[in-house]
Structure 1
Amino acid sequence: MAKTIFITGASRGLGRIWAEAFLKRGDQVIVAVRNPDALNELSEQFPADLLVIKVDVTDKLACFEAIALAKSHFGVIDVLINNAGYGHIGAIEELKEEEVRRQFETNVYGSLWMMQAILPVMREQHSGHIIQVSSALGIVSFPTLGLYSASKFAVEALSDSLVAEVSGFGIKVSIIEPNGYRTDFATTSGIESKALPVYDGVRAYLAEGNKIEDWGIPEATVSAVLQLVDAENPPLRLILGRVGFQWIKSVYQQRLQTWEEWQDVSIAAQGN
């Protein structure tokens, strides 16, 4: 059965690939983007099934207006894919206040505003699926990627709370956690703080371990996302890519080992 799917940040990268895949299989798609002209080709191919809306997700009112317009146009919104966001590279000492605020305004607040806008629609429908695009870096963090990870850790926390709050309304929640993919995410669409030479060694170490052959092929994510959207009982979390799974498994094993080693101290801290 065809679905009506709202995607933010779909002018390029994974969001664009997913939007096109949905359209090709017969779904109705709404894309919320900063630059609608980037979707002209798709609009010409799918004039009846694609609605392009100019939206800056950091603008709360614009998010609510976009959801209202989409609901009025298609009558229903089955799926929201919160994909808008960008990467930021910078050691903690290098980060400027405006860079931190911009990262959170887009990656966290933008996601939150869209969730708040869609929830009344899905509650009224007694159905819906909210898919949050996080990252493997929403579970683990690497040097010079702390700010980006912090924003995705926040998305994960909001989503964990949301699933418990809305399950009684027939609304499902999933978190997609991709590892690195060969998109423009870390190049033209990303931001980098002004570097301090003292951290050049850290950057070199990270670059050495971040090999291009470990990056995924963006088009390979399509099947996984279609399966997630179509699942009757979708998972709360879905890792995209084998490298992300390896990172996360290793980090959780280390954390469990540390917590177990310090368990006596933790229990004594209870006080009763």
Structure 2
Amino acid sequence: MAKTIFITGASRGFGKLWAAAFLEKGHKVVATARDLRSLDDLVNKYGTNILPLQLDVNDRAADFAAIAQAKQHFGSIDVLINNAGYGLFGSIEETTEQQAREQMETNFFGLLWLTQAVLPVMRAQGHGHIIQLSSVLGLVTVPILGLYNASKFAVEGLSESLAQEVKAFGINVTLVEPNQFATDWGSASAAVTTPMPEYDGARAWLQAAASEDKIGIPEATVPAILQLIDSENPPLRLLLGKQGHPWTRQVYEGRFAEWDAWQEIAAAAHGK
């Protein structure tokens, strides 16, 4: 059955790729981008099935207006995909206040505003699916991406609570958690701090860890995303790629080992 899908950050990367896949399957798509020219090819090919909207997700009023326009234009919003975001590369010490705030504004607050805006629409419909683009780095961490980690950890906590709040309204929530893929997330779309030589070792470690044999092919994600939006019982979390699952399992096993080692002391701190 054809659905109306609202997707942010559709100018490139996963957003552009998935928007095209949805349209090819006959869905109606509201695609947002800061530069509408980036959507001209989709408009020319799919005509009235796509509604391109210029949007800076950091603008809360504009987010609410975009959702209202989408609802008025297509009559419903079945799926919201909060895809807009970017990575800030730099150590914690190097990060300026402006860089930190901008990372959280886009990756967390923009997602929050659009989520708030679409909830009344989905509640009135009695159904909906909110898909939040998180990351495996919302579950585990690496050096030099601390602010990005923080933004995605925030998305994880927000969305897990949201899922519990809205289930009774027929609204599902899914956190999509990709490992690294060959998009421009780590290049053209990224922001970078002014490097301090003290952190050159951590930067070298991250670069070595991101070897090409571990990087996924973006086009290979399309079947999974199409299956996700068609699912009647979608998961709360979906790890995309083959690196995230074993890595997350390894990290969590280490966490439990540490918690277990300190459990006696922790339990005594309860006081009764």
Moved more, 150-159 or 245-254: 245-254
Structure 2 residue 94 is the aligned partner of structure 1 residue 94: yes
Deviations 1:32-56 (A, max 9, x none): 1111110001100011100000010
> What is the aligned-residue RMSD (CA, Å)?
0.6
What is the correspondence of 1:1-272 to structure 2 with a 5 Å cutoff? 1-272=1-272
Partner Cα separation in structure 2 for residue 142 and residue 177 of structure 1: 15
TM-score, scaled relative to structure 2 = 0.99
Identity %: 54
How many angstroms does 1:112 deviate by? 0.2
How many angstroms does 1:208 deviate by? 1.6
How many angstroms does 1:244 deviate by? 1.1
Partner Cα separation in structure 1 for residue 201 and residue 58 of structure 2: 35
Partner Cα separation in structure 2 for residue 203 and residue 172 of structure 1: 38
Partner Cα separation in structure 2 for residue 144 and residue 241 of structure 1: 22
Partner Cα separation in structure 2 for residue 210 and residue 13 of structure 1: 18
The residue type paired with residue 194 of structure 1 is T
Deviations 1:183-223 (A, max 9, x none): 10000000010000111111112212220110000000001
Corresponding pairs, count: 272
Partner Cα separation in structure 2 for residue 188 and residue 116 of structure 1: 30
How many angstroms does 1:118 deviate by? 0.1
Partner Cα separation in structure 2 for residue 30 and residue 206 of structure 1: 36
SS at match of 1:239: strand
Partner Cα separation in structure 2 for residue 160 and residue 110 of structure 1: 17
Partner Cα separation in structure 1 for residue 222 and residue 131 of structure 2: 14
Partner Cα separation in structure 1 for residue 48 and residue 205 of structure 2: 50
Partner Cα separation in structure 2 for residue 227 and residue 24 of structure 1: 14
Partner Cα separation in structure 2 for residue 120 and residue 206 of structure 1: 42
The residue type paired with residue 13 of structure 1 is G
Deviations 1:9-40 (A, max 9, x none): 01100111000000001000001111111000
The residue type paired with residue 14 of structure 1 is F
Partner Cα separation in structure 2 for residue 86 and residue 209 of structure 1: 19
Q: Which aligned segments of 4 or more residues in structure 1 are displaced greater than 2 angstroms? A: none
Partner Cα separation in structure 1 for residue 202 and residue 105 of structure 2: 27
The residue type paired with residue 136 of structure 2 is A
SS at match of 2:266: helix
How many angstroms does 1:163 deviate by? 0.4
SS at match of 2:6: strand
Partner Cα separation in structure 2 for residue 8 and residue 39 of structure 1: 12
**Structure 2: segments with no counterpart, 5+ residues:** none
Partner Cα separation in structure 1 for residue 209 and residue 74 of structure 2: 46
The residue type paired with residue 264 of structure 2 is D
The residue type paired with residue 41 of structure 2 is E
SS at match of 2:271: coil
The residue type paired with residue 46 of structure 2 is F
TM-score, scaled relative to structure 1 = 0.99
The residue type paired with residue 65 of structure 1 is A
Partner Cα separation in structure 1 for residue 218 and residue 127 of structure 2: 29
